[in-house]
Structure 1
Amino acid sequence: MTTRAEQVAVLRPLYQRDLASGTERFFGPRRTDCPWCASDRLRERLRTPDLLQHKPGTFVIDRCLACGHHFQNPQLNQDGLEFYYRDCYDGLGREAAENLLGTSRSRRRHRVAAESLRPFVDPERWLDVGTGYGHFPEAARQVFPKTVFHGLDQGEGVAFAEAEGRVEKALRGLFTDVAPSLAGQYDVVSMHHYLEHTPDPRAQLKAAHTALAPGGLLQVEVPDPGSAYSWMLGRWWVPWFQPQHLHLMPLRNLRQALEDSGFAMMEVDRRAAHRPMDLAGAVVLLFSRLMPRDDAPWRPRPPSPAARHLRKFLRASGLPVAAAAYGIDLCFAPAARRTGFSNAYRILARRN
């Protein structure tokens, strides 16, 4: 079996070749107007390095003072998206992604999200967009055992989901490209923490409208950039999730976009959508930033033995702090869900 060190050694020349001319080529031109409302009243909200994988690059989130939309500016182009997603959910990052996304708490959240649709629909066919390794359909099947679930994603995880029986059919590609061939086939389309990853969220909503049968339901869950935690924690607020999150939309903006795309709003839920992890996530990001880097192919050389030992020590030191912060997150969660600290919202809409 190939070790991680051996995998890194194989990948390092490829990454170093990609980085030889810098990271500027991974970005499109900087916008001077808001991609949501076209206002030129922009203000920088935060500037941050990659706090997830610690790949080279600096990323800026701008806020529109007219409509409140938040967006990465300049935005990653296709080469940039490929570079920064590489080895995050697949490849080197596959095991970590599976462990993080497949926790028992995540499975319970997925079941609750699926359960919220029970009063409105008994679906025959359900498409989960951005399904990853198919954890959501796997949990939703416990609520709707007779439903046929399909999963769509760009990564290799969706094929794994089909092989494991988490979805009956894997669709791999861009939703906006695939949607015309799916016209009117589904009773439900779900997008959980997917829309913010896309270069054009409104095009995704139109694709969902195409894939749904008349009267079908769309369930969307996204981070809320207006959360009090986003202001309190700054760059250490996990849902900024740079460089992967390209757009973060206030509720009123997404509501209007849904209506413009041919949907009727049914429900908005901030309570169930909240994930109690803000303080713990900030601690993890901070310690990860302070620690010497782990060996990775985007680093020119492996870390020294001294750096490895220091990283191990700091990591052990940070675990009790992160655990204590998580305890505070859990204790404060009931209040956070009912106040401006809720970090996400979930929308249910019907295709007109």
Structure 2
Amino acid sequence: MQKMSVNQCPCCPDDRLKRLEVRESQVVAERFQQLNRKKYGGYMSGWEGELSLQLFQCAGCGHVWHAEHPDQESLFGMYAHGRRMRVTSADRPPTNRMCREMRQFARLVGARHLDQGLLDFGSGGGRWSVAADLAGFQVTAYEPSAARVPSQSRIRQITDLRELEGAQFSAVNLEQVLEHVPDPMGLLQTIKSLMQPGGVLRISVPDICKHLNGTWLEDYPFNGREMHIMSPFEHLHGFTRKSLISLLARSGWRIVSGFDLISASPLLFSRYFLSSAGLPISRTLLFVEPQEC
């Protein structure tokens, strides 16, 4: 395992960093080991001695991130050893909300007179891929952790990005993925190379603003029952709406116009409006397209 250090905001150029009050104490180390045993079967043993559990926050955009994290291969190993914290079926169907959101996405893409090829990037257990398939998309699901890939006969499943060489998609779904990756800007630029002209990226991340209160770090990094919003090293980033928009702009993306959204789905536009008005919605959902050169 190699240690990666992050000493500047990954999302904006502001260099004013705040060191959050995370004490490198025996209690924190014991909580980390409890998480390690319960969630990852002991795979992360010793990491608390090699990696700081310190968190930084950007004074400009509010983004929160780990000061240090493991390299990508170690993270892949961690995910492969992950266990379900709740007793649920591994092959649950997508929820009604998932299906509704994919139908709205399909209308947005269809209004641009593009084909219905969709890449579900970081598809995990595949529920969003199934929802996209039911909405009429022709789905390719990319999930690098082979142990998490389900069997879906109608969906092309891949575990290696090299299989996408030369492919381009009219739609990409990035559902609760960006907070897990060491280099979110690099990932967004990779996705740009996979987009057709006029294509749309649907991106959703947890909104850390909902959690930033006076007690949010009291049970960090684990309370024995539920994953913390900045659980090491599951979530490497805690996005705000402002930090995500800043990162997208710096990565060469722009937000799809409100006219396009309301034409595709008034319900989708209304949710967009509520989120942009700063109401406490649990996640930030954006539809973006590559900026013209």
Would you call these one fold, judging by a TM-score over 0.5? yes
- Is 1:33 matched up with 2:17? no
Aligned length: 251
Tell me the CA shift for residue 83 of structure 1: 4.4
2:153 to 142, 165, 171: 165
8 Å CA contact 1:26, 1:79 repeated in 2: no
* Separation in 2, partners of 1:67, 1:250: 7
| CA separation of 1:337 and 1:64: change in aligned 2, threshold 3 A | closer
Question: What is the percent sequence identity of the aligned residues?
Answer: 18
Q: TM-score normalized by structure 1?
A: 0.60
Cα deviation, residue 44, structure 1: 1.9
Aligned partner letter, 1:211: L
Match status 1:67 vs 2:61 = yes
Q: Which residue of 1 aligns with 2:95?
A: 107
Within 5 Å, which residues of 2 pair with 1:218-297? 218-228=201-211, 232-234=215-217, 235=220, 238-266=228-256
In 2, distance between residues paired with 1:222 and 1:341?
Answer: 14
SS in 1 for 2:68: coil
Q: How many angstroms apart in 1 are the aligned matches of 2:91 and 2:163?
A: 27
Partner-residue secondary structure (3-state), 1:188:
strand
Q: Retained in 2: the 8 A contact 1:98–1:133?
A: no
222-231 vs 243-252, which moves further? 222-231
Q: 1:204 to 1:191 in 2, by over 3 A?
A: same
* 2:39 counterpart SS class: coil
Structure 1 residues 230-239 or 110-119, which shifts more? 230-239
Q: Which amino acid aligns with 2:252?
A: G
Partner of 1:120, secondary structure, is helix
Q: Using CA pairs below 8 Å that are at least 6 residues apart, which structure has the higher relative contact order?
A: 2
Is 1:77 aligned with 2:71? yes
- Extract unaligned runs of 5+ from structure 2: 262-267
Q: Does 1:142 align with 2:148?
A: no
User: 1:44 and 2:20 equivalent?
Assistant: yes
Runs of at least 5 residues in structure 1 that lack an aligned partner in the other structure: 1-24, 274-334
Residues 132-170 of structure 1: CA deviation (Å, up to 9, x unaligned): 1321111122222xx210011111156x43x33252x22
Residue 127 of structure 1 contacts residue 150 of structure 1 at CA under 8 Å; is this kept in 2?
A: yes
Match of 1:125 in 2: 117
The answer on whether the counterparts of 2:79 and 2:145 sit within 8 Å (CA) in structure 1 is: no
More helix by share: 1
TM-score normalised by the chain length of structure 2: 0.71
Q: Which position in structure 1 is the counterpart of 2:185?
A: 202
Identify the residue that residue 19 of structure 1 maps to in structure 2: none
Task: State the distance in 1 between where 2:213 and 2:90 align.
Answer: 22
Q: SS of the counterpart of 2:95? A: helix
CA distance in 1, matches of 2:277, 2:14: 32
Which amino acid in structure 1 is aligned with residue 201 of structure 2?
L
